[in-house]
Amino acid sequence: MEGWMRLLLEGRAGGYLGKRVARAATADPQNVWQTIFTISGGLVLIKALIGVRTIIQAGGASTLQFQHSVGPTVLDAGTGVATANAVGTIYWLTGDVTDPVQLGAAGAPILTGKIVATSVTHAGIGVLAGAGNIQVTFTAAAGTGSTRYILCYEQIDPGASVVAA
């Protein structure tokens, strides 16, 4: 594993990606939305939302998707393929809600995010999110597997924070 991706996963990325919140690995939810992070106290700018496969997904064809609970508002296209991904596979968002969750091995490039507003997407530096929950789901064919998650953010409003659920 090379470069800043390794530093991020090890919790040593420093100020570039803002504050880092890690969530321990848990079983992948099947056809239900599972809260993985909670935002409270105001707006934050999500600079990275990453999942790391810890136990191989043992079912049939499966996709994954992230959403914000308010609305709810999807954070990706919902077509990211999670079928039989090897342990260590990394999932990440591009910041464009029309893109699927990206996946690859360690060292894969991560594109600059976008700020998402009501039906308008602007090139930017992350995903602006208010109070609520960041959630993930896998399709019912997912079978057994587990993923750990990392979210990096910058505070926009004083008192805003993110905690692992």
Q: What is the pLDDT of residues 84-102, one digit of tens each?
A: 888 888 998 877 788 888 8
Compute the average pLDDT of residues 54-83: 88
pLDDT, position 109: 55
pLDDT, position 77: 92
**Cβ within 8 Å of residue 11, ≥6 positions away:** 20, 22
pLDDT, position 107: 56
Token duo for residue 98: 């029309």
Domain that holds residue 46: 3-164
Query: Residue 42 pLDDT > 90, yes or no?
Result: yes
Q: Is the pTM above the cut of 0.85?
A: no
pLDDT in tens, 2-31: 454 555 555 555 556 889 999 999 999 989
| pLDDT above 70: percentage of residues in the chain | 75
Higher-confidence residue: 98 or 1? Answer: 98
Compute the average pLDDT of residues 123-142: 83
Q: What angle do CA 10, 4, 55 make, to 5 degrees?
A: 45
Quick one: pLDDT band at residue 1, thresholds 50, 70, 90?
very low
pLDDT, position 13: 52
pLDDT in tens, 100-120: 888 887 655 555 444 444 444
Distance CA 23, CA 135 (A): 12
Distance CA 45, CA 154 (A): 5
Token duo for residue 59: 């079912």
3 state DSSP class of 8: helix
By residue count, the chain amounts to: 165
Overall domain count for the chain? 1
Cα distances (Å, whole numbers) of residue 49 to 57, 73, 76, 102: 20, 15, 11, 11
**Cβ within 8 Å of residue 129, ≥6 positions away:** 39, 43, 44, 45, 46, 68
